[in-house]
Amino acid sequence: MEVSLGGATHGESSHASHIDDDRKVRIGMFFYVLCDVMFALFMVSAYVFLRAANVNDQWFPEGTQNVDQAIPTALIAILVASGLFYILAHVSVRNGKTGLTKLGIVLAALLWFASIFGNIYYMGHLPFTQSAGGFASMYVLFTGYHIYHLLFGLIFVIGLTVRTLQGRYTAERHLGITTIGYYWYWTVLFGVVGWLLPIMLPGPLH
Q: What is the rounded distance in angstroms from the CA atom of residue 181 to the CA atom of residue 187?
A: 10
Q: Which amino acid is at 197?
A: L
- Identify the residue with better confidence: 131 or 81: 81
Give the lowest-confidence range in 58-62, 90-94, 102-106.
58-62
Rounded Cα gap, residues 201 and 206, in angstroms: 10
Q: Select from 177, 194, 81 the least CA-distant residue to 135.
A: 194
Question: Which pLDDT belongs to residue 55?
Answer: 87
**Helix (H), strand (E), coil (C) string for 103-119:** HHHHHHHHHHHHHHHHH
Residues belonging to the chain: 206
Flag the least confident range among 23-32, 37-46, 71-80, 132-141: 23-32
> Distance between alpha carbon 28 and the CA centroid of its chain, in Å?
16
Is the model's pLDDT at 80 over the cut of 90? yes
Rg (CA), the chain: 22
Homologous superfamily, domain 10-200:
Cytochrome c oxidase, subunit III, four-helix bundle (1.20.120.80)
Residues 58-77: tens digit of each pLDDT: 999 988 888 889 999 999 99
> pLDDT for 156-185, tens place per residue?
999 999 999 999 999 988 999 999 999 999
pLDDT at 108 over 70: yes
